[in-house]
Chains A and B, each alone.
Chain A
Amino acid sequence: MKARVTVTLKSGVLDPQGKAIEGALKSLGVDGVSSVRQGKVFDIEIDGAEKAVVEATLKAAADKLLANTVIENYRIEIV
């Protein structure tokens, strides 16, 4: 099974990298950008036939390692 875990910063957490990218986009003349937040994407291949079981495994993986839940949220998709 293929899955994607997306990790993003919680709202309210300052993201200096996102701010720098936002500034760079503006200086490139990309119009209309009001905010950029940087995150991470993990594409994972995982054994298992049952979606619910795989989701639970990935949730544990995200809580234990992939995300720091003090500052980050995550989303799991089976693709």
Chain B
Amino acid sequence: MKSAVLVFPGINRERDMARTLKLVSGVEPAMVWHADTELPKGTDLVVVPGGFSYGDYLRCGAIAARAPIMDAVRSFAAKGGLVLGVCNGFQILCESGLLPGVLMRNSQLRFICRDVYLRVERSDTPFTRGYNAGQVIRVPVAHGEGNYIADGETIARLEGEGRVMFRYAAPDGMIDPNWNHNGAMNAIAGIVNDAGNVLGMMPHPENHVDPAIGCTDGRGLFAGLAEHLAKAA
């Protein structure tokens, strides 16, 4: 797995992400500066990490989405390359047009920083092959704008094409408004693009990979990606 982690001014989760990628795949990722115009040769996974690029000015992810490196990411994705966006990374992918919809202010207007439960909807994708469909995982969230919104037609298409990968759920996997902490439509926590090679999600699986933290539920995502890319190579 030859991964590249994008670094924008104001991003603060890129080291967690890099540490996880190294821990799970054994290979150090390349850190790629936003002003660069090319990804390192042979990159097979681009990760847009979380944080607060440009201080969330204008709209979350809006300015980062127009950074020079994003043109390279767009053409990488158009060729089928795998792209993972977490938290601010999800917002950046939506703003850049790589994923549909928008992450709006949480319905309760509060910044939420805690563990949530996610139901994994599918296991037959490069991002979720490390899990079983219907499995519930516990991962942290830390965001003020994670309330996923799209027009009715887009939501119908996402649901109809099975493009919702993760939903906020109760610990037993039931979808319940009380566990949909940010008010996202259809409790959507993560989606893929129409080709299935770009995933955006609000929660932080990279923070639940080390037994020292007390939970390793996030590991499956990275282990699955590493396995997928090892087979493809």
Name A's B-contacting residues (CB within 8 A). Answer: 13-14, 16-17, 20, 64-66, 68, 70-71
List, in ascending order, chain A residues with CB within 8 A of B105's CB.
Answer: 16-17
Q: Which of B66, B100, B102, B183 has the largest count of A CB atoms less than 10 A from its CB?
A: B102
Interface secondary structure of B, over-half rule: loop
Interface CB pairs A-B, < 8 A, 11: A14-B149, A16-B104, A16-B105, A16-B147, A16-B183, A20-B109, A65-B58, A65-B66, A68-B59, A68-B95, A71-B104
Residues of B near any A CB (own CB < 8 A): 58-59, 62-63, 66, 95, 100-102, 104-109, 147, 149-151, 183
What CA separation (Å) do A16 and B182 show in the bound complex? 11
**A residues near B101, Cβ cutoff 8 Å:** 70
List the A side residues contacting B183 at CB < 8 Å: 16
A68 surroundings in chain B (CB, below 8 A)? 59, 62, 95, 102
Complex contact B102–A71 (CB within 8 A): yes
Asked if B62 and A16 make an inter-chain contact with CB atoms under 8 angstroms apart, the answer reads no
